[in-house]
Amino acid sequence: MAQSLDLFEIIRKEFEEEKVDIRTYSPLSLAYIGDSIYDLIIRSYVVGKGNTSNNKLHKVCTSYVSAKAQSYIAGELLPKLSEEEASVYKRGRNSKPQSGAKNATLSEYLKATGFEALLGYLFLEGRTERLMELVKEAIRITDERIDN
């Protein structure tokens, strides 16, 4: 198996930033970076499937990254999480965001925030392999839901 790439560690070293205890980050900070990482992975995955119009790329990506989709994914993944991962997810889900999603209920938005917080936590901890396992499972869950 290929060695895991710790992108956050590379970024931190490039910009000469001090190491910070990730456990001190707010759940919304974790969700902020988790949202970006998930979006980047999904966009890479979708673009990797072949060249197509930007409109189609956006539509396909949205089916994976919308708050509704992430809420559903979170519900399916929760029983498969470790105690530590579930704790991070719950911190994100129980956070008090300043805004909500445009096309989702508050409950869906909070579950999506928990999912993003977990992904952000794994990214910042350098746990790339586990992050990718969960994203692959999220893709499988979404594809299965779309096909049904």
Helices (H), the chain: 7-14, 27-48, 54-65, 67-77, 83-93, 106-124, 128-147
**58 within 8 A of 145, measured Cβ to Cβ:** no
Q: Of 35, 39, 143, 147, which residue is the catalytic one?
A: 35
Residue 89 near residue 115 (C-beta atoms within 8 A):
yes
**Quick check: is 35 catalytic?**
yes
If DSSP codes are grouped into helix, strand and coil, which group holds residue 25?
coil
Report CA torsion sign: 32, 104, 67, 77: positive
**Beta-carbon count within 10 A of 46 CB:** 20
Residue 115 in tokens: 């999912």
- DSSP for 99-110, written as a single string: S--TTS-HHHHH
- The catalytic residue positions are 35
